[in-house]
Structure 1
């Protein structure tokens, strides 16, 4: 049974909307909010955009004085199936994290499919990670020993990939926060590894057809889906051992539930502290709806 507040919101605002995966493709689709029901951004000391090679990052700076050694920093990747979203998509989440965690937040406006398919978003992820580590101490006042990464859905996919790529770059990470993550792009209805794809196939918001639409926009070549830079659950055991501690949020009524749980299990098996929180009665988008729902991560 769905969380009742979400059900009421869905019936009022979304029930009669045409799902995005059934609309003719146009980049203008990105002008609409990826998820309705979010809160307004909170005031912080500063919000500044910086260009990278192929994308930009938006930096949120906390109020007050940085601690000795510099601010902790959280690199965030927005959701939207690697297809939707803009640099402004996660302003509310980023400002909340900045203010409440007293951390610099770097939100990455990575390139999107179908115009810029895989591995463009991964390339932007890696560049953002390197930029924060090398430029961040002087430019942003951050502590390079206190870098965390995180994201929502497709963004959590990129954040998880960042934890594995960081090891090869000798960039230490302190933490990873994965909200309803995509960890295995080979998952499908009928997949015995992930029963949630079948159990929740008729749940609102993220039905299998929509997830496949997102995946094909981003990564149209099936031979790529088992690469660890595409599906981080396929990273080596050794790479999992080097991953930072994790907090993973999944929703009971989300098709992605079981691959998020499986990813947490792989971290635990590798000896990495990992907490997996299952939000009962909740569908996929509930974490971003803090303006309407008490379930929200914020």
Structure 2
């Protein structure tokens, strides 16, 4: 199996274009394994869907637990993957949605076009915007909830995309979400040092330039940390103690607060970037519990373990 991380960035993009994303080597992250590990997930029902994206149909997946006490809230969730990878079966998408649905929060997960050298912003953003509209158009059927009860969230690159879509919605692209959840988001071109020059040869520089495309590194919808944070919906930003990209989430939280917005900043101690993509990590489960709590769900019996993080106000 080719080690993509060992390839030059351009070669990695070419390999992904030609061969697709390699299979995850972990043998315990499929649905059956998750059910065995977390019995409270077994009643969650899923439904495969598609929606019309910017260039082609995109996959979506609906999660509902008919046995859970309804919270009246629903959630649209977008995975990360450095804008070049990720899918609906990765734990950051699938497991997170199962956990939230088990707490009475129906979830629609969205996929989007990856930036594999020939695609750049705004294509992935347009996909997520289309998926958001798809969710609201079908909110009663999908969620049993009103459109104004649906929140929007994403992790890492997905956090970037949903924050940019929230800004576009605020500026007239459609109805705003009831809330915005950003988990270890990448909101600046240089997310490890917001405001500092971007090294085009560093990994973050290559990822950001590949996503933004020619002339896009300064675009406030491509990198929401560069734009206005006024009039955004109530927002939860999750940052991780050991994440090199933590400064991006913290800088954005400051931006929202300075604009007078409603903002909760949650710090997960002992966690690193991508931790909710690992079901075996106890910090992942406490982060998910905090997201559920923030969205208005009661704790699922036996669901959370470990020492919780804290809201840093």
Deviation at 1:216, TM superposition (A): 3.6
Q: Which consecutive residues of structure 1, in runs of 5 or more, have no partner in the other structure?
A: 1-16, 199-207
Q: Deviations over 1:182-211 (max 9, x none)?
A: 1112x277x57469x99xxxxxxxxx8333
Aligned residue for 2:109? 107
8 Å CA contact 1:37–1:291 kept in 2: the answer is: no
How far apart in 2 are the matches of 1:218 and 1:56?
Answer: 20
Aligned residue for 2:77? 76
Aligned residue for 1:291? 280
User: Which of 151, 176, 182 is 2:180 aligned to?
Assistant: 176
Deviation at 1:22, TM superposition (A): 4.3
Asked if residue 233 in structure 1 is aligned to residue 225 in structure 2, the reply is yes
Deviation at 1:52, TM superposition (A): 1.3
Q: Which consecutive residues of structure 2, in runs of 5 or more, have no partner in the other structure?
A: 36-40, 289-313
Question: In the TM superposition, what are the counterparts of 1:1-298 in structure 2 within 5 Å?
Answer: 19=5, 22=8, 24-25=11-12, 26-27=15-16, 28=19, 30-33=21-24, 40=34, 42-53=41-52, 54=56, 55-64=58-67, 71-89=72-90, 90-100=93-103, 102-114=104-116, 115-167=118-170, 168-185=172-189, 187=190, 191=193, 193=195, 209-221=202-214, 223-236=215-228, 240-294=229-283, 296=285, 297-298=287-288
How far apart in 2 are the matches of 1:266 and 1:36?
Answer: 41
How far apart in 2 are the matches of 1:160 and 1:175?
Answer: 11
8 Å CA contact 1:250–1:260 kept in 2: the answer is: yes
How far apart in 2 are the matches of 1:212 and 1:258?
Answer: 16
| Secondary structure in structure 2 of the residue aligned to 1:158 | helix
8 Å CA contact 2:268–2:283 kept in 1: the answer is: no
Q: Deviations over 1:113-170 (max 9, x none)?
A: 1153221110011111111112222454332111111111000111111221222134
After TM superposition, the score normalised by the length of structure 2 is 0.73
8 Å CA contact 1:163–1:243 kept in 2: the answer is: yes
Deviation at 1:66, TM superposition (A): 7.8
In angstroms, what is the RMSD of aligned CA positions?
3.0
More divergent stretch after superposition (284-293 vs 52-61): 284-293
8 Å CA contact 1:44–1:98 kept in 2: the answer is: no
8 Å CA contact 2:44–2:101 kept in 1: the answer is: no
Q: Deviations over 1:59-105 (max 9, x none)?
A: 111223885xx9522111101011111221221111111112x1111
Structure 2 CA distance for partners of 1:232 and 1:20, relative to 1, 3 Å? farther
Deviation at 1:288, TM superposition (A): 2.4
How far apart in 1 are the matches of 2:87 and 2:146?
Answer: 27
Structure 2 CA distance for partners of 1:116 and 1:40, relative to 1, 3 Å? farther
